[in-house]
Structure 1
Amino acid sequence: MYEMKWLSVVGIGEDGLSGLGNIARSLVDQASILVGGRRHLAMLSNNDGREKVVWSSPIQQTVEEIIRRRPKSVCVLASGDPMCFGIGVTLTRFIDISEMTIIPAPSAFSLACARLGWSLTDVETFSLCGRPVELANSYFYLGAKLLILSADKHTPGIIADNLTKSGFCESKITILERMGSVDERIVTGIASQNGANFRDLADLNTIAVECIADVGVTGLSRLAGLPDNAYHHDGQLTKREVRAVTLAALAPKPGELLWDVGAGCGSISIEWMRSHSSCRAIAIEQSTSRLKYISDNAASLGTPYIDIIQGKAPNALQNLSTPNVIFIGGGVTSEGVLETCWQALPKNGRLVANVVTIEGEQKLFEWYQKVGGELSRIAIQRAEPIGKFMGWKAMAPVTQWSVIKS
């Protein structure tokens, strides 16, 4: 551990170095090495002869360069608040906070709220810089206020298209460019009419969205049990009621990793990931056509980071990251599947398996006798027309086994 804080991270607004406070300016002036994007380094005097490092791609290479220069005095120039989807978050993964000083400028989110009169605590905030734009789809709901860091000038138009496709055509979109500079500009428009207003935008922009739903549209819940018609599938779909019970048994917690074995169209994995932005899932499926369903459903429902593995269990389960939870929706009776899943599960890990066949029930009962857990029968009936009347049609009952590994 170094006594001296050799690394500083200074957030800079669009007003440049002149907008820095005394402490931030002194950190920039006293550093022997400066790191930043070309835009930030261009703010320095032409006569500044100190060593300068420009961010590379992938960014990890530059992080390693910074670490190699320890304990020389290094100052990283960042945009706005380095700890708000910024480089400060990345650096703290590799360098202890005791070795660095971080001085933030106002974040784009804070500046946007100040311009719009929004309360930051009431707003959904996320970044699409270096991230799939489909992430935004899980945030659309009636009355939502969103602040989004754009990847570039094309992001606002894509967001407008996605809002329109999701039934939020009249949503108000405000694009805030270069906030805090003399070139600051605010552009407004409606999602369904984005082409008229969202031309010639700056790459550096923040998007504010007020979600206004079309008649009859409210958006999708983040709780388990989305409507069956929210998914494209070929019939291999865990039905809504059973899905809700299954997710309750799986009990997702932030940061946990799920193995979805025999994923079908991906409904369990997707609703697992929708429960919290940090939940992760690996969907294992052997059918090529169903892999396409999984990827399409994940994109439309806002979980593009789902990890899709083609293959048949148990062979496809080799060398995967250790799961916190495993769901087996298909293949319970295949040789070695339960054995492999149980072996991969760490202590206190959870396993849930659903079956609809007698042979599957026999397999689950054998394991129930060996390691315990809970057995449940899920029987659902839906009302459907019978001629001029209504009657109850039973769905195939599902036997569910859930267990915590001791």
Structure 2
Amino acid sequence: MHKAPWLTILGLGEDGLDGLSPASRQVLDRAEIIMGPPRHLSLIPETGAKRVEWPVPFADGLPILTKLRGRPTVVLASGDPFWFGAGSVIARSFDAGEWVSIPGQSTFSLAAARLGWPLETTLTFGLHAAPLTRLRPHLSSGLRTILLLRNGQAVAELATYLTETGFADTTLHVMEALGGPRERARSMSLTQALLETFEHPVCVGLDVAGDGRALPKVAGKPDDIFETDGQITKRPIRALTLSALAPRRGEHLWDIGGGTGSISIEWLMCDPTLTATSIEPLEDRASRIRRNADSLGQDRLDVVHGTAPGALNGLTLPDVVFVGGGLSTELLDWLRANLRTGTRLVANAVTLESEALLAAWHGKLGGDLLRIELAQAGALGPRRGWKSAYPVVQWSVTL
């Protein structure tokens, strides 16, 4: 016999019950337990149900909710629980038949309606639990984006960050408590935002303007956006390497011998569903990879300080592997023995010894072997000439 879901994830607006459908009100009336943050609980009247405050940090509430399994329970969330909301985190903790969601009107929809912006061309970000640097790959003059922020103080932090990145002419459209009796919307400069105070919940529409540097959307980002000690896969080689790695939605990368982290960082920039682990034996370089990832909005990069293949034990198995450093017979033997069939492998070699190693493995396993030779124009006395870089041999294979 099919059991009805015991858990309802209910999207609630700032207007409380006024914004709920009759069906949603009935769900609240029938609930034995209503769980949510204090602000959400304050928006609904007493129904006789037991009220449970969702704790901070958010993850601490999941064990509490699990103990309520089987009792009619409503969890209150903001707007649409599955658009930068709590819905997805809760849903993956329970079986599909245990829960149902009733979404409310999202903050993004309300903000777009106030601003007159088409949502299909407006970027949306949930930065209430993420760093502002998530914006960095997207910042360019003319960008329009709507952001959810964690509190009122974050508006000033946003204004400071935009100033520091060169987009000081940006206009902020600050909207507080959208859809409720406390709603307030104001447009202002970054300087004005530093002088004002704002109340939670708050979202901001950005009309980005200024002469700040916009990052290219294609693979092969400029070398100088990365902090480096000189050891970096240069831009043209990086572009060819990303092409060989061929990232696909939802895939996980191992970047072995991470160096500056440029390969794994650009991998992550290709799509928000991609994940990556960078493995680097030198501690100072591992720290540098972490700084590069954070500053370029790829804070989800996992950095492992260790030497492959030993450091690979226990890591989530990859879909794709790039070997940019530490190439050896021992490493290739380990990868062949431990990785799943279908894993894609790309390795770059510069020295004669590592080139010979790739040639030998190409003979054993096949794949594509590519020799990349590049030269750049430079001064040659009073004239110009070609200055050749070391050739790179690249092996690509599917195990």
- Does the CA contact (< 8 Å) of 1:2 and 1:99 recur in 2? no
Q: From 202, 218, 223, give the equivalent of 1:223.
A: 218
Are 1:5 and 2:12 counterparts? no
Alignment match, 2:312: 317
CA distance in structure 1 between the aligned counterparts of 2:85 and 2:358, rounded to whole angstroms: 48
Deviation at 1:272, TM superposition (A): 0.2
Deviation at 1:361, TM superposition (A): 0.8
Give unpaired runs (5+ residues) of structure 1: none
Are 1:278 and 2:273 counterparts? yes
- Does the CA contact (< 8 Å) of 2:14 and 2:43 recur in 1? no
Q: Deviations over 1:274-309 (max 9, x none)?
A: 001111111111222212321221122110111111
Alignment match, 1:208: 205
TM-score normalized by the length of structure 2: 0.95
Alignment match, 1:299: 294
Alignment match, 2:344: 350
Are 1:375 and 2:369 counterparts? yes
- Does the CA contact (< 8 Å) of 2:155 and 2:193 recur in 1? no
Letter in 2 for 1:309: V
What is the aligned residue count? 399
Deviation at 1:2, TM superposition (A): 4.5
Give unpaired runs (5+ residues) of structure 2: none
- Does the CA contact (< 8 Å) of 1:269 and 1:281 recur in 2? yes
Q: From 230, 241, 245, give the equivalent of 1:235.
A: 230
Mapping of 1:31-110 within 5 angstroms?
Answer: 31-45=31-45, 48-110=47-109
CA distance in structure 2 between the aligned counterparts of 1:2 and 1:151, rounded to whole angstroms: 40
Which piece of structure 1 moves more, 70-79 or 271-280?
A: 70-79
Task: Give the aligned CA root-mean-square deviation in angstroms.
Answer: 1.8
Are 1:257 and 2:257 counterparts? no
CA distance in structure 2 between the aligned counterparts of 1:61 and 1:83, rounded to whole angstroms: 19
Q: Deviations over 1:131-157 (max 9, x none)?
A: 222212122123221111102223222
Alignment match, 2:147: 148
Alignment match, 1:133: 132
Change (3 A) 1:9 1:195: closer
- Does the CA contact (< 8 Å) of 2:81 and 2:103 recur in 1? yes
Which piece of structure 1 moves more, 383-392 or 365-374?
A: 383-392
Change (3 A) 1:125 1:343: farther
Are 1:178 and 2:173 counterparts? no
CA distance in structure 2 between the aligned counterparts of 1:387 and 1:2, rounded to whole angstroms: 84
Q: SS in structure 2 opposite 1:173?
A: strand
CA distance in structure 2 between the aligned counterparts of 1:271 and 1:33, rounded to whole angstroms: 46
Q: From 326, 348, 365, give the equivalent of 2:359.
A: 365
CA distance in structure 2 between the aligned counterparts of 1:352 and 1:145, rounded to whole angstroms: 37
Which piece of structure 1 moves more, 362-371 or 247-256?
A: 362-371
CA distance in structure 2 between the aligned counterparts of 1:70 and 1:118, rounded to whole angstroms: 42
Letter in 2 for 1:6: W
Letter in 2 for 1:144: L
Change (3 A) 1:172 1:25: same
